[in-house]
Amino acid sequence: MKKKALVVLLFGMFCIPVSLVAQTEPEDIALVNDEFQDSFYESLLQKGIENYDKAIVALEKCLKSQPNDATVYFELGKNYLAQKNFERAYNSFERATQIDPKNKWFWEGMYDVSYQTKNYSQAITVIQKLIPFDESFKDDLISLYMATNQLDKALGLINEMNDKFGKSDERELYKIQILSGGKFQNEEITNLISQINKNPKEESNYIALIFLYSQNNEADKVLEITKKLETEIPASEWAQVSLFKSYLDNNEAPKAINAMNLVLASNKIDAKIKHRILNEFLIFVNSNPQFTPDLEKAIGYFDTDKEVNVAKEIGKFYQNKKQLDKAVKYYELSLKKNITEDIETNLLLLQAYTETKNFELVAKKAMEMIELFPSQPQFYYYSGLGNNQLQQFKKAKDILETGLDYLVEKGSLEINFYIQLGEAYNGLGDFKKKELYFSKANQLLKEK
């Protein structure tokens, strides 16, 4: 199922999450007292270093003076969700929506909890509230209808979305799945078997039949037809697509790798299928790291892929799983081929260095990127963060003040700059300027 997740760009140890500053915040937020500001800022700091219990305590202090502050409940929800305390997370997000039902991020928090707990019925209820904000959430609703076997509703919504926005690959796959069920599916299977018997050299019939058997999870029949295809058309590269999956399921790694390499080298197989196969092999290698060299060889087949930076995507896979050393390895592999063009990969690598607390590399890499991209403020931010952590406060201050000149729009990055400048001045003993920049950060948070 496709999930429209709440997008969060994580910066360093002392960062402010984009989800907070990018959202449409509740209107008419009143000025709060110093205690509220201090507690709220403390919660953000503690969340940034994953001290969620302390962050929650700080937020509860905020509620004592501002018991109806929707943003505080939203932050509580995020901290509880990080702890996988799903019930309290959901209740906190729900309370935020009760205070301010016009803020879509609050509803997305409820949706996120529902999705993670696989409470799809609840997710359907919540997604109905999100659709008025953004009609593209209907694609999520289609996926939820499929998951709950409400195929009639899914089909109606598929047709509606196709008519309004044009077809998408995912919706078409769902439509095929729906229409191939029941007696229509059985009739088509009978027809395809008949066609194969009449003309055993027609590859397309095998492919269609394999697809239908796969939809029914009839693995034995998939393997039977795949082997027949391989016998009748030995040169068929399509046979290797299904054989790869069978070999992988049976833990026959050498055969699976051979089939994968044949598919990846083929000019006939669609790129999306190749990416799917590589993704399945990546998941296999995650549990069987002895085959990592074969994964790295497979990546080479995508060197000319203009649509997907495969090494970078593998890096993201490992970063999401908190296997940061592996993420760094693949980001670095990607950048060996594309260092001067891919700003995103460089930022992902800097974030991975930050999460592993390798601040020397953060500072060094960020300075290299400043030389290549002198107008990109993100690199000044990481350089400042790295130097602050290395207690090179004067250098951090100078770099951050230069980077501020390149900020075009106010937002999360500006807030992060102010926080790091506050840290730098704190290290330099200039407490007046420290308070000035922390105050600026807090003011921007209240304006959102």
For residue range 386-411, what is the model confidence (pLDDT) as tens digits? 999 999 999 999 999 999 989 887 67
Asked whether the predicted pLDDT for residue 235 surpasses 90, the reply is: no
Q: Which CATH superfamily is domain 18-172 in?
A: Tetratricopeptide repeat domain (1.25.40.10)
Average pLDDT value for the chain: 83
Closest CA to 400 of 358, 356, 370, 435: 370
13: exposed, middle or buried (Cβ count in 10 Å: 0-12, 13-18, 19+) = middle
Whole-number percent of the chain with pLDDT over 70: 88
Structure tokens at 148: 């709950």
Q: How far apart are the first and last CA of the chain?
A: 32
Asked whether the predicted pLDDT for residue 1 surpasses 60, the reply is: no
Asked whether the predicted pLDDT for residue 342 surpasses 70, the reply is: yes
Nearest-5° Cα angle at 417, 401 to 429? 70
Higher per-residue pLDDT: 420 or 408: 420
Asked whether the predicted pLDDT for residue 55 surpasses 80, the reply is: yes
What's the pLDDT at 410? 67
Asked whether the predicted pLDDT for residue 261 surpasses 60, the reply is: yes
For CA atoms 346, 347, 350, 351, the dihedral sign is negative
Q: Is 234 helix (H, G, I), strand (E, B) or coil?
A: coil
What's the pLDDT at 180? 64
Closest CA to 316 of 327, 326, 307, 302: 327
Q: pLDDT-derived band of residue 362, with 50, 70 and 90 as boundaries?
A: very high
- Average pLDDT score over residue span 433-446: 88
- Average pLDDT score over residue span 145-161: 85
Q: How far apart are CA 26 and CA 169, in angstroms?
A: 37
Q: How far apart are CA 143 and CA 157, in angstroms?
A: 10
Q: φ, ψ for residue 195 (rounded to 5)?
A: -65, -40
* C-alpha 263 chain-centroid distance: 27
Alpha-carbon dihedral of residues 150, 156, 157, 158, nearest 10 degrees? 100
Reported for 315-323, long-range contacts at CB under 8 A and 24+ positions apart, including other chains, are: 315/345, 315/348, 315/349, 315/352, 316/348, 317/282, 319/348, 319/351, 319/352, 319/355, 321/286
Q: pLDDT-derived band of residue 341, with 50, 70 and 90 as boundaries?
A: low
Question: DSSP character for 289?
Answer: G
Reported for 308-312, long-range contacts at CB under 8 A and 24+ positions apart, including other chains, are: 308/271, 308/275, 309/334, 309/338, 309/342, 309/345, 310/275, 310/278, 311/337, 312/342, 312/344, 312/345, 312/348
Q: pLDDT-derived band of residue 382, with 50, 70 and 90 as boundaries?
A: very high
- Average pLDDT score over residue span 8-22: 34
Q: φ, ψ for residue 429 (rounded to 5)?
A: 80, 10
CB 381 within 8 A of CB 420: yes
Q: How far apart are CA 363 and CA 379, in angstroms?
A: 9
Whether CATH 1.25.40.10 fits 357-448: yes
What's the pLDDT at 33? 61
What's the pLDDT at 339? 54
Structure tokens at 23: 């959202």
What's the pLDDT at 20? 39
Task: List C-alpha distances in Å: 93 to 28, 85, 210.
Answer: 19, 12, 45
Q: φ, ψ for residue 436 (rounded to 5)?
A: -60, -50
Q: How far apart are CA 387 and CA 381, in angstroms?
A: 10
Structure tokens at 326: 């592996």
What single-letter amino acid sits at 297? Answer: K
- The string of pLDDT tens digits covering residues 59-117 is 999 998 889 999 999 999 999 999 999 999 999 999 999 999 999 999 999 999 999 99
What's the pLDDT at 113? 94
- The string of pLDDT tens digits covering residues 296-313 is 888 888 877 777 788 888
Q: Is 301 helix (H, G, I), strand (E, B) or coil?
A: helix
187: exposed, middle or buried (Cβ count in 10 Å: 0-12, 13-18, 19+) = exposed
Asked whether the predicted pLDDT for residue 10 surpasses 80, the reply is: no
What's the pLDDT at 188? 61
- Average pLDDT score over residue span 333-337: 80
Q: How far apart are CA 90 and CA 286, in angstroms?
A: 32
CB 229 within 8 A of CB 238: yes
Asked whether the predicted pLDDT for residue 4 surpasses 50, the reply is: no
Q: How far apart are CA 124 and CA 141, in angstroms?
A: 6
For CA atoms 76, 77, 79, 83, the dihedral sign is positive
The CATH 1.25.40.10 domain(s) of the chain lie at 18-172, 357-448
Count of CB atoms within 10 A of residue 428's CB? 14
